[in-house]
Amino acid sequence: MAILSKDEAQNILKKVIGFSKADECSASLNGRTRGNIRYARNTVSTAGSSDNVSLVVESRFGKRSGVATCNQFDDDTLRRCVQRAEEIAKLAPEDPEYMPLLGPQQYLTPNSFAQSTAKITPDFRAQAAGDSIAACQTRDLTAAGYLEDGATFTAIRNSKGLEAYQQATNIDFSVTVRTKDGKGSGYAVADFTDVSKFDAKALTKIAADKAAGSATAKALEPGKYTVILEPAALVSDEGLLNNLVYSFDAREADEGRNFLSKKGGGNKLGQKLFDERVTIYSDPLNPAAPGSVFDGEGLPVKRTAWVDKGVVKNLYYSRYWAQKSGQQPTAFSGNFIMEGGTQTTADLIKGTAKGILVTRLWYIRSVDPQTLLFTGLTRDGTFYIENGKIKHPVKNFRFNESPVIMLNNIEAIGKPVRLGGNLVPPLKIRDFTFTSLSDAV
Amino acid sequence: MKRRDFVGLTGLAAGALFLPSIPGFGLGNSVDPAQLLDQVDVAVKKRMADAALNAAKSAGASYADVRIGRYLNQGIFTREKQVQNIASTESYGIGVRVIANGTWGFAATNDVSEAGAAKAAQTAVGIAKANSKVQKEKVQLAPQKGFGEVSWKTPIQQNAFEVPIAQKVELLLAANAKALDNGASFVNSALFQVNEQKYFASTDGSYIDQDVHRIYPTFGVTVVDRASGKFRSRQSLSSPMGLGYEYLTPKAADKVAGPAGSDVTGYKMSYDILEDAAAAAKQAKQKITAKSVVPGKYDLVLDPHHLGLTIHESVGHPLELDRVLGYEANYAGTSFATLDKWKSGNFQYGSKQVNIVADKLQPGSLGAVGYDDEGVKTKEWDLIKQGILVNYEKIRDQAQIVGQNESDGCCYSQSWQDVQFQRMPNVSLRPGQAKLSVDELVKNVDKGIYIAGNGSFSIDQQRYNFQFGGQVFYAIEKGKIAGMLEDVAYQANTQEFWNSCAATCDASDYRFAGFFNDGKGQPSQSSAVSHGSATTRFNGVNVINTARKIG
C-alpha cells in the first residue's frame, strides 16, 4: 500500500480534485515504507519498520487557504477531507503573500528509485548489524550503529492541471566504534540510493581502524591549523557546507539579515565571495546523488548553479519573492554537488607537510549569522599529519569558523563522494580556527 | 542523519529557506480546531488496553504495557502584520511494549480498536521473540506495584485550545506591533500548544489516565542597520511551560527585574509578551552599537533563562544513564560522568554551592506528570549534593545496572508510535539558602559580564567542553552594570565551570527555562523539559570574542 504507482496515486488525486468546490484545490499524496535497526555495546538494541500514506488537501477561496489531511482513501473519507479543508479555508485570514497555483509543468525523468533498496528485508538489516558487530568483536572493540532504509513516493495534482509523480529510495548507515577503555573512537557514515553499493563491513573497518588508531591522543595547542576535512566533517551533523548552501536565501539577503545582504540594501548575487576553485550546484539527475525533479508546489527542478568559480550565481527565490523582485523562482532539488578534483583523502594527506586530519565535526551551531560563524567540535578520529604521513592522534578541538572564510582559504580540493544525498569532496584548508581543547573521546 | 540532536524553537529567524510549507507540526493529521477539545471515554480506553494486555499474555509475554495516546497540537505563526500559518493536528493510536523470552518487543497501530490493540500486542511479542535470538542479557525490570485506576491532569486554569484562534492571533500581532513600534525591522512570533491525552495500562495492574498540557509563546526580533550593513536579533525571554493559557496573562508578582541598569525582566509563572517584545526591539537596536567584548577571564552572572540551557547540556545530559552506559554512542554520545566517578562517592562535579536535583513534579514545569510512560509514580531525587555526584537519571530496566531497585520515573515517548525510553527529567539548581538578591550578587563582582537569555550552544559528545552565547550581555565593572556588550561567548570545561560556582541567589529569584524539542535516540524522539535556577555567579570563566570579517 505504501508505495503507490503513478496511476494509483493520480486516480485518488483526480477524485479529490473532483470533490472540490473551492476556487483552487491542490492535493498531494506522500507514501513511505521504512525499516531500521539500531545496535550499541555490540548488541542489537532496537529494530522497527513502518509504512504510511497520507493525503494533504489544500483548498483556496480567493486568498484564503485551508489544509486538511487523512490517511484513508475511500470516497467518503476523501470527500470529508476536502470539505474540512474548505471549511478551514473559509475561516482563515487572507494571505498577503498568496500566489496562484501552478498550471501544467514539464519535468525531467527522475532516477531516484532503486528496486534493490525498496526490497530490503529485516533479515538484511540484521545481517548488516551482525557483520558490523562481528568486525568489532574480533578486534576487542565496541560498535554502536544505525541503519535506516526506505522507499517513498510523492504525487501532486491540482485544479489548474498540474500533475507530478516521483519515487525515491534511500539507505543511511552510520557506525561509531570505540576501544574498550574508551580512549579511542572512530566513525564512518554513508548513504546510497541503491543498496548494492552499501558494504557494512568495509565502513565498519574504517571506523574500527580510526578507533584503534586514536587511542593515544596527544594534546596540541589550540590555534590556526592547516586541516584536511573529510566529507563527513563538512556535511554530516548539519555541517558547515549544508549551512552555507541553506543560507542562499534571496529574501533574507534582501531584507538585510543574511551574510549575502549588501551594505545599503540588496544582495550579493553576482559577486565573487569564494576561492575561484569553488563551484557548487544542484542537479536532480546526478546519477550518484539524485534529487527531486519538482518541489513541494510542483515547480520543476533543474540543474542550478549556486556558486560558479567563486561567484554567487543564484539565490533561492520563493515564487512570492521572485515575483516581488522581478526574478525567476528557484526550485531546490534537495541535493548539492561541490566540484572537486581527483585526489582522495589519502592523496591529500600525502601532500601535506604539517596539518590535522578531521574525521567529523559535531554539535555545529550558529554563533553569528552576520558572518556565518559556527562553532562545534572535532570527534571520532583527529590526527596530526607530518611530512605526508599520519604521525599520531590528537585530542579533540572546539572550532569557531565561517564556511565563507574557509572557502577562501583553500589549499586543495579532493574527489567528491556521496554523503547526505550530496556530493562532497574532502577539503584541505589553511588557517582553520581551533579555539579550545576538549577531553572528549 | 540530518537531524539536530537538540533543536531550539527560538531560532524563528527569517525566510526558512527550503523549509516545506508546514501543514501541521508534530506527527498528526490536520483537524478542525474544535476537535482538539474532544476527550475519549476512559471505559473505552480500558477495554482496548485489556484487549492488548490479554493478547500479549496469551502470546507468551511475561510483561506488557499499552499506551493509548491522543496527541493534539496547535501552532500559530505570524510575521510583522500578517499570519503565516495556523495548524491544528491530532495523532491518535496505540503502542504496545512487551517482554517475551527476556527481550523487549514493540509495535504500534493507528487502528484504535480492541482488535487493533490485540493485533499490535501479538506483533510486539513476535518481534520480541525474534530479537531474543541476538539478545545477550535478559531484561530485568525494577519492581513496580500496580496503582489500579487512577488519573492525573496538569493543573491548568485555562485550556489554550478553548481560547478562540482569533484572540491568539490578535495577541501575537499585538506583540509584533510592539516590536515594530520600538524599532524592529522584522519580527516573527509563534504560539505552540500541546495536549497529550495518554492512557497507560500494564500487566502490573495499573490503568493510568493522564491529561498533559504545555504552552510555548515565542518570538524573534531583528534590527537591520542598512548604513553599516549590521543586523542583530533578540529572541523572546519566554519559556515553554506546563501551563494553560493563563501563562499569557501577565501578573506583576511573576516579573523579576535583572540587576539595576540592565533593562532585563525575567518571567516566572506568567509572561508579558507585549512588554518583552518592546524590550527585545530596543535591546536588538542597542546591540548594533554595543561595545565588542575584550576576550579574557570574567566572572559571569547568569540569569535563569540562560543558565537553564547550561544546566541542560552540562548536567542533564551527562547524567542520563543510557548515555553513560554507551547506548547513545552513535548519536547523542556518551558521558564523562562514568560509573567509577559516581561509585567513588567523592567526585567533585561542582563547588559546595552546587545542589542539583531531578524531578518530574514541579508545578508549571514541562516534566511534571503524575506517572511516567511506564507507569512509575513520579518523584524528586538528588543528582549532585554539595558538589558531589550522587545519582543518575534512570528507568525500570536500568535500575539494577547501578544496584538500585527503583526507577526514577523518567521514561517517555513522544507519541503512541514510538517506543518509550529514558529521557531527561526536570534538572534544576537549588536556590541559595541565604537571602541574596541579584543586585547583591552583582555588587561584589569586580570585572564580570551579566548574561540573560539562552542563545548559541554547543557541547562535545561526552559533555566536557562547551560554548554558550546568550541574548543580551552587560559589562559589570566594580559591582555595577556598565553598558551593553556584544560578540560574547564563553567556553569552559563542565567540571571546572561548576567548581567555579561562587554563589546563587535565593528562592525569590528562582524560575524555569524550558525546552520543547530535546532530541535523543535513533530514530530521533523529541521531549520537553524544564530547568529551574536562580541567578548564579561563576568565577574566572574564559570569554571569547565572536566577531569576524568576511567579504
Residue that the C-alpha cell 506528570 belongs to = B369
CA distance B53 to B64: 6
CA distance B287 to B285: 5
Contacts of residue B30 in chain A, CB cutoff 8 Å? 56, 67-69, 84, 88
Contacts of residue A246 in chain B, CB cutoff 8 Å? 17-18
* Residue A168 to chain B, least CA–CA distance (Å): 17
The C-alpha cell that represents A200 in the structure block: 557494512
Q: What does the pLDDT look like over A145-192, one tens digit per residue?
A: 999 999 999 999 999 999 999 999 999 999 999 999 999 999 999 999
Q: What average pLDDT score do residues A336-364 get?
A: 97
Say which DSSP state A22 is in.
S
Cα-based torsion angle of the residue sequence B342, B516, A397, B330 in order, rounded to the nearest 10 degrees? 70
Local confidence pLDDT in tens for the 551 residues of chain B: 232 222 222 233 333 323 333 333 445 777 778 888 888 999 999 999 999 999 999 999 999 999 999 999 999 999 999 998 888 888 899 999 999 999 999 999 988 999 999 999 999 999 899 888 877 789 999 999 999 999 999 999 999 999 999 999 999 999 999 999 999 999 999 999 999 999 999 999 999 999 999 999 999 999 999 999 999 999 999 999 999 999 999 999 999 999 999 999 999 999 999 999 999 999 999 999 999 999 999 999 999 999 999 999 999 999 999 999 999 999 989 999 999 999 999 999 999 999 999 999 999 999 999 999 999 999 999 999 999 999 999 999 999 999 999 999 999 999 999 999 999 999 999 999 999 999 999 999 999 999 999 999 999 999 999 999 999 999 999 999 999 999 999 999 999 999 999 999 999 999 999 999 899 999 889 999 999 999 999 999 999 999 999 87
Domain ranges of chain B: 29-282
* Residue A347 to chain B, least CA–CA distance (Å): 28
Task: Kindly state the greatest CA–CA separation across chain B.
Answer: 75
Residue, of B123 and A334, whose pLDDT is higher:
B123
CB A26 within 8 A of CB A101: yes
Q: Which of B522, B524, B525, B549 best tests the A interface by mutation, with the highest count of A CBs <10 A?
A: B522
CA distance B166 to A382: 55
pLDDT given for residue A380 in this prediction: 97
- Cβ contacts of A226 within 8 Å, gap of 6 or more: A352, A354, A355, A356, A411, A428, A429, A430, A431, A432
CB B538 within 8 A of CB B500: yes
Q: How many contacts, defined by CB atoms under 8 Å, are there between A and B?
A: 239
Tell me whether residues B464 and A438 touch, CB distance under 8 A: yes
User: B421 has which bridge partners?
Assistant: B412
CA distance B242 to B425: 13
Cα-based torsion angle of the residue sequence B481, B483, B486, B491 in order, rounded to the nearest 10 degrees? -20
CA distance B320 to B336: 11
Say which DSSP state B402 is in.
G
- Cβ contacts of A373 within 8 Å, gap of 6 or more: A366, A367, A400, A401, A402, B546, B548
Q: What does the pLDDT look like over B59-107, one tens digit per residue?
A: 999 999 999 999 999 999 999 999 988 888 888 999 999 999 999 999 9
The C-alpha cell that represents A377 in the structure block: 567540535
Tell me whether residues B551 and A271 touch, CB distance under 8 A: yes
Q: Hey, which residues 427-466 in chain B have their CB within 8 Å of chain A?
A: 456-465
**How far is CA B65 from each of CA A140, B138, B195, B419, B440, rounded to the nearest angstrom?**
37, 18, 22, 11, 52
Cα end-to-end span (Å), chain A: 45
Tell me whether residues A92 and B4 touch, CB distance under 8 A: no
Tell me whether residues B551 and A404 touch, CB distance under 8 A: yes
Burial of B427 (0-12, 13-18, 19+ CB in 10 A): buried
Q: Are strands B447-452 and B296-302 parallel, antiparallel or unpaired?
A: parallel
The secondary structure element, H or E, covering residue B107 is: strand B103-109
State the CB neighbour count (10 A cutoff) for residue B507. Answer: 12
The residue type at B109: T
Contacts of residue B21 in chain A, CB cutoff 8 Å? 296
Tell me whether residues B458 and A375 touch, CB distance under 8 A: yes
Among residues B5, B162, B187, B8, which one has the least CA distance to residue B74? B162
* Residue A438 to chain B, least CA–CA distance (Å): 5
CB A363 within 8 A of CB B460: yes
CA distance B408 to B427: 13
CB B447 within 8 A of CB B464: no
Sign of CA dihedral B75, B79, B83, B85: negative
What's the 3-state SS for B364-379?
Answer: ECCCCCCECCCCCECC
CA distance A5 to A50: 19
Tell me whether residues A242 and B2 touch, CB distance under 8 A: yes
Among residues B210, B211, B207, which one has the least CA distance to residue B37? B211
Q: What average pLDDT score do residues A190-201 get?
A: 98
pLDDT given for residue B22 in this prediction: 36
Task: Kindly state the greatest CA–CA separation across chain A.
Answer: 73
Tell me whether residues B547 and A371 touch, CB distance under 8 A: yes
Among residues B271, B63, B35, B294, which one has the least CA distance to residue B172? B271
Contacts of residue B11 in chain A, CB cutoff 8 Å? 366
* Residue A341 to chain B, least CA–CA distance (Å): 25
What's the 3-state SS for A252-293?
Answer: HHHCCCCCCECCCCCECCCCECCCCCCCEEECCCCCCCCCCC
Check: pTM over 0.90? Answer yes or no: yes
SS3 of residue A301 by DSSP: coil
Contacts of residue A53 in chain B, CB cutoff 8 Å? none
Nearest to B4 among A126, A238, A248 (CB): A238
CA distance B454 to B468: 8
**Any CB–CB contact under 8 A between B336 and chain A?**
yes
* Residue A348 to chain B, least CA–CA distance (Å): 26
CB-hemisphere CA count at 13 Å for A248? 28
Residue that the C-alpha cell 543498496 belongs to = A195
Sign of CA dihedral A404, A409, A413, A418: negative
* Residue B446 to chain A, least CA–CA distance (Å): 26
State the CB neighbour count (10 A cutoff) for residue A386. Answer: 12
A48 confidence band (pLDDT: 50, 70, 90): confident
**How far is CA A247 from each of CA A202, A288, B410, rounded to the nearest angstrom?**
35, 24, 38
* Residue B462 to chain A, least CA–CA distance (Å): 5
The residue type at B458: S
Helices (H), A37-161: 75-91, 115-118, 122-137
Q: Hey, which residues 502-541 in chain B have their CB within 8 Å of chain A?
A: 522-523
Nearest to A144 among B134, B330, B489 (CB): B330
| pLDDT surpasses 70 at A47 | yes
pLDDT given for residue B1 in this prediction: 25
Residue that the C-alpha cell 474548505 belongs to = A86
- What angle is formed at CA A212 by the lines to CA A208 and CA A213, rounded to 5 degrees? 115
pLDDT given for residue B245 in this prediction: 98
Sign of CA dihedral B339, B345, B347, B353: positive
Q: Which of B30, B79, B91, B413 best tests the A interface by mutation, with the highest count of A CBs <10 A?
A: B30
The secondary structure element, H or E, covering residue B129 is: helix B114-131
Tell me whether residues A256 and B229 touch, CB distance under 8 A: yes
Contacts of residue B522 in chain A, CB cutoff 8 Å? 36, 38, 146, 148
The residue type at B221: V
Q: What is the number of helices (H) and of strands (E) in chain B?
A: 9, 28
Q: What average pLDDT score do residues A24-36 get?
A: 94
Q: What does the pLDDT look like over A7-18, one tens digit per residue?
A: 999 999 999 999
Q: What does the pLDDT look like over A370-397, one tens digit per residue?
A: 999 999 999 999 999 999 999 999 999 9
Residue that the C-alpha cell 472540490 belongs to = A20
CA distance A321 to A99: 10
Contacts of residue B136 in chain A, CB cutoff 8 Å? 43
SS3 of residue B430 by DSSP: coil
Is the link from the previous residue into A110 a cis peptide, with omega within 30 of 0? no
Tell me whether residues B82 and A95 touch, CB distance under 8 A: yes
CA distance A382 to A186: 9
* Residue B464 to chain A, least CA–CA distance (Å): 6
What per-residue string of b and e applies to B166-192 under the rule 16 or more CB within 10 Å gives b? eebbebbbebbbbbbebbbbbbbbbbb
Residue that the C-alpha cell 515504507 belongs to = A33
Q: Which of A189, A332, A365 best tests the B interface by mutation, with the highest count of B CBs <10 A?
A: A365
CA distance A373 to A398: 13
CB-hemisphere CA count at 13 Å for B285? 14
Q: What does the pLDDT look like over A83-127, one tens digit per residue?
A: 989 998 998 889 999 999 999 999 999 999 999 999 999 889 999
pLDDT given for residue B88 in this prediction: 85
Q: What percent of chain A has pLDDT over 70?
A: 100
Q: Which domains does chain A have, with CATH numbers?
A: 6-210 (3.30.2290.10), 216-441 (no CATH)
Tell me whether residues A71 and B29 touch, CB distance under 8 A: yes
The beta-strand segments (E) located in A283-388 are 304-308, 311-312, 337-338, 354-368, 373-386
Cα-based torsion angle of the residue sequence B397, B401, B404, B405 in order, rounded to the nearest 10 degrees? 30
Contacts of residue A236 in chain B, CB cutoff 8 Å? 1
CB B225 within 8 A of CB B255: no
**Within its chain, how far is the Cα of B375 from the centroid?**
21
- Cβ contacts of A199 within 8 Å, gap of 6 or more: none
Give the architecture (CATH level 2) of B29-282: 2-Layer Sandwich (3.30)
CA distance B533 to A195: 50
What per-residue string of b and e applies to A85-121 under the rule 16 or more CB within 10 Å gives b? bbebbeebeebeeeeebbeebebbebebbbeebbebe
CA distance B226 to A41: 55
Phi, psi of A237, deg, nearest 5: 55, 45
Nearest to B491 among A252, A435, A439 (CB): A435
Q: What percent of chain A has pLDDT over 90?
A: 91
